[in-house]
């Protein structure tokens, strides 16, 4: 069945340091989505990747989809305290079942 593994589970960084979270699947994904959940909040959609090798940027955030479409990463350059939260990847394999990774909780130390 659909399954995505996400690492690391937790990450503490000093403000200004970079951060990366990874999402891996044993099967080829049709697409991957990334969400951010602030503490006490609900997940909010960030971006979707569809094409092999795709790279998208949103300000300090860079999203990549692997060439084999089995992995993805989210990289934040020069973290800020506003980046605190849990980042999730999600995949649906083109079906209606959106399956989420376990998430990476980011803490930024000022």
Partner 1 sequence: NAGVTQTPKFQVLKTGQSMTLQCAQDMNHEYMSWYRQDPGMGLRLIHYSVGAGITDQGEVPNGYNVSRSTTEDFPLRLLSAAPSQTSVYFCASSSGQGKSPLHFGNGTRLTVT
Kindly tell me which of 62 and 100 has the beta carbon lying closer to partner 1.
100
Does residue 99 interact with partner 1 by CB under 8 A? Answer: yes
Q: Is the dihedral of CA 71, 77, 78, 80 positive or negative?
A: negative
Near partner 1 in 47-66, by CB under 8 A: 48, 50
Task: Identify which of 77, 84, 75 has the alpha carbon closest to the alpha carbon of residue 16.
Answer: 77
Q: Tell me if residue 79 falls in helix, strand or coil.
A: coil
CA angle 30, 34, 40 (to 5 degrees): 145
Determine which residue in the list 64, 101, 106, 108 makes contact with partner 1, applying CB under 8 A. 101
Q: Which helix (H) or strand (E) holds 104?
A: strand 104-109
Does residue 6 interact with partner 1 by CB under 8 A? Answer: yes
Nearest distance from residue 54's CB to partner 1, in Å? 13
Near partner 1 in 62-91, by CB under 8 A: 88, 90
Does residue 44 interact with partner 1 by CB under 8 A? Answer: yes
Residue-level length of the chain: 110
Residues that bind partner 1 (CB under 8 A): 6, 9, 30-31, 33, 35, 41-45, 48, 50, 88, 90, 92-103
């Amino acid at each position: 069945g659909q399954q995505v593994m996400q690492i690391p589970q937790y990450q503490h960084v000093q403000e200004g340091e970079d951060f990366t979270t990874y999402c891996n699947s044993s099967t080829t994904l049709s697409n991957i989505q990334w969400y951010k959940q602030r503490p006490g909040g609900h997940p909010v959609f960030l971006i979707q990747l569809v094409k092999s090798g795709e790279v998208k940027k949103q300000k300090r955030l860079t999203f990549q989809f692997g060439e084999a479409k089995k992995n993805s990463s989210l990289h934040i350059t020069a973290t800020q305290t506003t980046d605190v939260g849990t980042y999730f990847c999600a995949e649906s394999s083109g079906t209606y079942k959106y399956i989420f990774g376990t998430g990476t909780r980011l803490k930024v130390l000022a």
